[in-house]
A and B are shown apart, each in its own frame.
Chain A
Amino acid sequence: MNKKIRKATTHISQNEVLLFERSSAGKKAYELPPLDVPEVDPATLLGAQARQDLGHMPEVSEVEIIRHFTRLSTWNYAVDHGMYPLGSCTMKYNPRVNEVVARLTGLAEAHPYQPERISQGALRILKMLSEQLIEITGMDAITLQPAAGAHGELTGILLVRAYLESLGNPRKKVLIPDSAHGTNPATAAMAGYAVENLKSNAAGMVDIASLVAQVNEDVAALMLTNPNTLGVFEQEIHKIAEVLHAKGALLYMDGANMNALVGKTRPGDFGVDVMHLNLHKTFSTPHGGGGPGSGPVACKKILEPFLPSPVVVTKPDGTLGFDYNRPKSLGRVRMFYGNFGMHIRALAYIMANGPDGLRQTTEDAVLNANYIRKGLEGAYDLPYKTPTMHEVVFSDHIQSQKGIKTGDIAKRLIDYGFHPYTVSFPLVVHGAIMIEPTESESKESCDMFVEAMKDIAEEVEEHPEFVLEAPHNTRISRLDETMAARKPILRWKPQSEAAGK
């Protein structure tokens, strides 16, 4: 008796096809209510502008949609699964109450142009968040309009530009340390400035002597991340501000790393003129698989007149409203008022913490990073021995002797159940391993992470080829990125069309 056993090699949920491949004519997932006005004929109303058909848009049923996206979701790793120590990204826990309050009907269905009279609650949220972020940063004024960190950078540098222009000369250059994130130089270019690189010193900080030599009347601003991307606090921050201010230049702070500072120190107190915050990092709004974010820009009094229009004000009758009459404003950087849904979530986060909670959060974030640093010292090369704040940057120097790079170690970490750290950034560290645990990790998960990283270091010594082939436990193995870039396939096409090309 030779009964053939039929068995799927992997669970069907691991082989979900593209939506288009699920589609067949006549399936549907919607039902519109009956039309309560007379039907119209599109051809009559639109003439030549009427559309004939919708090409290959999918036709599927509701249950298939639920299964499709649910299956896809299970192929992701997320903060909800475990530690996601992606340096510079602050992958902290995203509180559920934030999601609930952001979806309250009165807020979720508010039209941006609805009368101010019925928008008092939304305006109150904008005002309260503004006030609390001003207090947290120690600045004087703020705009919530920018949609992400890089957008905040652009807004901030345009503020600098508008201010300098009002003094008669916008100047030509922006100084950017070699450790900076790529958005900084890209932003300076968008704001019409030339970028001049600033070298770090042996401790990984701004070299004051180089700064003094480079700052002159052509320099509009220095864009500085503090703590910088090595996780190092710029100890001479006040000196840096003085050098700039003495020559009429301003200090811009990239606030991506505010999770190291909230409740412990304030950029406004240590000489920063303008900065952005990433609500999707420091203030727990979810990263959403790549966005949306929100990048408020806080500034000192001298820059306030130039903030994007509109701003929220209390009107003479005591109600809140938008002020559009801002003659010196740099203009608008986004339609409406910014990513309001993220503003709600950030405010809910601040409320849930209060002053004690925010301080404890910062302390725990810094504690975790230092604990991991201590645990991995020796096993991995630590290029900068300067004290660490909320993140620590090792390198693959030891492992690369065996031909194993930071990217390989990252892939192997996946097998241990962790999301990898940030690979190959900052550029000042060759083979960077940038670890930011955040406060959301318990002692146990930090211990497990350290153990995993140490095990991998041993594997590199004993079985480097095993690390090179990682990950081993995922649905798919390493993907051919070169092929993807060389012959880009950026959309689905029906087989007949795809073959014809």
Chain B
Amino acid sequence: MRYLPKSESDREVMLRQIGVKSIDDLFAAIPPEYRLKGDLKIPRAYAESEIVEFFRDCATGSAQGYATFLGAGAYSHYRPVVIDSLVSRGEFFTAYTPYQPEIAQGTLQSIFEFQSMICELTGMDVANASMYDGSTGAAEALMMAARLTGRHKSVVATSVHPEYREVIATYARYQGMPISTVAYGKNGRVDLDALEKGIDNETAGVLIQSPNFFGTIEDVAAIADLVHKKGALLIVSIAEAVSLGIVKPPVEADIVSMEAQSFGVPLGFGGPYCGVMATKDKFVRQMPGRLVGQTLDRNGKRGFVLTLSTREQHIRREKATSNICTNQALVALMCSIFMTVYGREGLKDLAKQNLAKAHYAAGEFKKAGATLLFDGAPRFNEFVILTKTDPYAINDKLLGQRIIGGFPLKKFYPDLGNASLWCCTETTAKASIDAAAKEVAL
């Protein structure tokens, strides 16, 4: 009970002061038949050293020492050490939502900076303080489009991350929001003819991802044109945030829904990550999530506060734009620090290395005999290959060399057969690429 700052005699004095005989008197409101008689059946208290030992044991044999070609919505980028040294400051990680701005300016100013940098990178006017992740953010963006247009249908590209699409289906089901899909063409991009046919005058929002799940960069401008002609809104989801260092931002979109995990957030077996939503000024009042704004104090000094909260659940209850309350603030801070470390030039250099590695790998895999799918459109750091051998068998062989191979696509796209999705980042060594190329040949 090392976390409890009381002695037995403290407790006795306090009970006496309250005027009760025993602690159980304070639990008298709980009907006796529901009071636990014995101990919870959980293990005894562990010493700190035992806890560390237990988790070390869990960590052994997992991830450490493996090279990886996995991307598919979670990316392995180097995390500058200043990130953890700063977010480990108790002033940041043991505070909560900045409801009292006079003693929360650290959190507030850093969120304002986060919002500003996300705007710079995405080309949007305004960004929120974070959403849970890219998948829930995408679902909420579609709901936002429905509120903005007064229409109810959505169109989602099948080249959007399949797990995002599953989450969207869950959220949309009871919003009275039918969802139709639009397929990808031979080059992996959204099929524009199909899209044109897929949108009608009841379509509120169209969701695409770029780079999409196959790593292909969409022609956002052309898609936006088509979507806007039909009076619908375009939502662009970005799962690989580092792409923004070198890929044109989706300025033609109405809403950008991003997963910022790539910006210095540990892979962490899938979470916590950092969703964020950005949009045009004119749409801000329908945006979900917290927003930080600039203002002045009584002496005219610049300061920051949570603002436009009449959109939110604590004010609007069932009429709120979303039920989100707790968000991903500390993860957003990690992203801010990452964006600052690399900055204006570094994000470009970093993205360029990703591009070069993936380009080299795709070339080597092709030389080795694998077929490169969707080769007709630009890509960022992921690409799809088709192999004669089952990709799971290829991956089994690579795992023996402590290399985690690409993501077999048949799990989500059975018709793509033996295709698999490979990702290279700045952390992927040429030697690993060359070793993998030998196996994909078979």
Asked if A485 lies at the interface with its beta carbon under 8 angstroms from chain B, I say: yes
Given A265-B35, A443-B13, A355 and B167 touching (CB < 8 A)? Answer: no
Interface residue from B26, B109, B164, B272 paired with A342 (Cβ < 8 Å) = B272
A481 vs B303: C-alpha distance in the bound complex, in angstroms?
10
Q: List 23 A-B contacts (CB under 8 A).
A: A23-B344, A30-B343, A36-B429, A76-B95, A78-B93, A79-B94, A153-B323, A182-B314, A290-B111, A331-B166, A334-B132, A337-B269, A339-B271, A351-B51, A352-B3, A356-B1, A366-B27, A370-B20, A442-B5, A476-B297, A476-B299, A490-B284, A491-B116
**Residue interface mask A339-362, B partner, CB < 8 A = 1:** 111101000101111111111110
**Residue interface mask A86-113, B partner, CB < 8 A = 1:** 1001011111010111111111111111
Asked if B438 lies at the interface with its beta carbon under 8 angstroms from chain A, I say: no
Residues of B within 8 A of A78 (CB): 90-95
User: Contact residue range for chain B?
Assistant: 35 or more
Q: B353 near A32 (CB under 8 angstroms)?
A: yes
Asked if A37 lies at the interface with its beta carbon under 8 angstroms from chain B, I say: yes
Asked if B97 lies at the interface with its beta carbon under 8 angstroms from chain A, I say: yes
Which stretch, A185-193, A245-253, A396-404, A453-461, touches the partner chain B? A185-193
User: In the complex, how many angstroms separate the beta carbon of A117 from the nearest chain B beta carbon?
Assistant: 7
**Chain A count of residues within 8 A CB distance of the other chain:** 203
Interface residue from B18, B344, B426 paired with A59 (Cβ < 8 Å) = B344
Residues of B within 8 A of A45 (CB): 355, 359, 378-379
Within 8 A of B (CB), among A239-271: 261-266, 269-270
Q: A291 near B328 (CB under 8 angstroms)?
A: yes
Residues of A within 8 A of B191 (CB): none
Which stretch, B99-107, B179-187, B194-202, touches the partner chain A? B99-107
Besides A69-B86, A192-B173, A235-B31, 16 more A-B contacts (Cβ < 8 Å) are A38-B356, A50-B247, A54-B347, A57-B344, A69-B92, A121-B60, A237-B31, A264-B35, A288-B328, A290-B327, A333-B167, A338-B271, A359-B39, A476-B299, A479-B305, A481-B305
Q: A28 near B343 (CB under 8 angstroms)?
A: yes
Given A269-B34, A411-B102, A69 and B110 touching (CB < 8 A)? Answer: yes
Residues of A within 8 A of B344 (CB): 23, 53-59
Given A341-B268, A490-B126, A335 and B163 touching (CB < 8 A)? Answer: yes
Residues of A within 8 A of B29 (CB): 232-233, 235, 386-387, 389
Q: A264 near B55 (CB under 8 angstroms)?
A: no
Closest to B285 in A: A488
A484 vs B297: C-alpha distance in the bound complex, in angstroms?
11
Q: A18 near B112 (CB under 8 angstroms)?
A: yes
Q: B18 near A370 (CB under 8 angstroms)?
A: yes
Asked if B388 lies at the interface with its beta carbon under 8 angstroms from chain A, I say: no
**Residue interface mask B256-287, A partner, CB < 8 A = 1:** 00000000001111111000000000001000
**Residue interface mask B78-91, A partner, CB < 8 A = 1:** 00101011101111
Within 8 A of B (CB), among A34-87: 35-40, 42, 45-51, 53-60, 62, 65-66, 68-70, 72-81, 84, 86
Residues of A within 8 A of B178 (CB): none
Q: A89 near B58 (CB under 8 angstroms)?
A: no
Residues of A within 8 A of B342 (CB): 29-30
Residues of B within 8 A of A293 (CB): 326
Interface residue from B48, B269, B343 paired with A352 (Cβ < 8 Å) = B48
Within 8 A of A (CB), among B10-36: 10-11, 13-15, 17-20, 23, 26-31, 34-36
Q: A32 near B341 (CB under 8 angstroms)?
A: no
Q: A42 near B30 (CB under 8 angstroms)?
A: no
Interface residue from B91, B161, B272 paired with A74 (Cβ < 8 Å) = B91
User: In the complex, how many angstroms separate the beta carbon of A4 from the nearest chain B beta carbon?
Assistant: 24
Given A148-B326, A233-B30, A291 and B269 touching (CB < 8 A)? Answer: no
Q: A290 near B129 (CB under 8 angstroms)?
A: yes
Asked if B229 lies at the interface with its beta carbon under 8 angstroms from chain A, I say: no
Q: A286 near B121 (CB under 8 angstroms)?
A: no
User: In the complex, how many angstroms separate the beta carbon of B336 from the nearest chain A beta carbon?
Assistant: 8
Interface residue from A55, A101, A288 paired with B329 (Cβ < 8 Å) = A288
Q: B3 near A491 (CB under 8 angstroms)?
A: no
Q: B170 near A330 (CB under 8 angstroms)?
A: yes
User: In the complex, how many angstroms separate the beta carbon of B167 from the nearest chain A beta carbon?
Assistant: 5
A182 vs B355: C-alpha distance in the bound complex, in angstroms?
45
Asked if A332 lies at the interface with its beta carbon under 8 angstroms from chain B, I say: yes
Q: A471 near B102 (CB under 8 angstroms)?
A: yes
Closest to A195 in B: B318
Which 7 pairs of residues, A with B, have the shortest CB-CB distance? A336-B270, A106-B59, A192-B174, A288-B330, A354-B45, A290-B329, A80-B90
Closest to B11 in A: A367
A360 vs B5: C-alpha distance in the bound complex, in angstroms?
11
Most chain-A CB neighbours within 10 Å: which of B13, B129, B303? B303
Residues of B within 8 A of A341 (CB): 266, 268, 271-272
Q: A42 near B70 (CB under 8 angstroms)?
A: no
Asked if B399 lies at the interface with its beta carbon under 8 angstroms from chain A, I say: yes
Q: A336 near B96 (CB under 8 angstroms)?
A: no
Q: B76 near A121 (CB under 8 angstroms)?
A: no
Asked if B295 lies at the interface with its beta carbon under 8 angstroms from chain A, I say: yes
Asked if B115 lies at the interface with its beta carbon under 8 angstroms from chain A, I say: yes
Q: B4 near A291 (CB under 8 angstroms)?
A: no
Q: A290 near B39 (CB under 8 angstroms)?
A: no
Within 8 A of B (CB), among A99-139: 99-115, 117-122, 124-125, 132, 135-136
Q: A371 near B18 (CB under 8 angstroms)?
A: yes
Asked if A5 lies at the interface with its beta carbon under 8 angstroms from chain B, I say: no
Within 8 A of B (CB), among A460-492: 471, 474-481, 483-485, 488-492
Given A65-B337, A106-B64, A477-B297, A70 and B89 touching (CB < 8 A)? Answer: yes
Closest to B426 in A: A32
Q: A99 near B323 (CB under 8 angstroms)?
A: no
Asked if B120 lies at the interface with its beta carbon under 8 angstroms from chain A, I say: yes
Q: B357 near A148 (CB under 8 angstroms)?
A: no
Residues of A within 8 A of B129 (CB): 290
**Residue interface mask A18-34, B partner, CB < 8 A = 1:** 11100100001110110
Q: B268 near A110 (CB under 8 angstroms)?
A: yes
A384 vs B398: C-alpha distance in the bound complex, in angstroms?
66
Within 8 A of B (CB), among A280-309: 280, 284, 286-294, 308
Asked if A425 lies at the interface with its beta carbon under 8 angstroms from chain B, I say: yes
Asked if A11 lies at the interface with its beta carbon under 8 angstroms from chain B, I say: no
**Residue interface mask B278-311, A partner, CB < 8 A = 1:** 0000001000001111111111010111011110
Residues of B within 8 A of A488 (CB): 284, 291, 293, 307-308
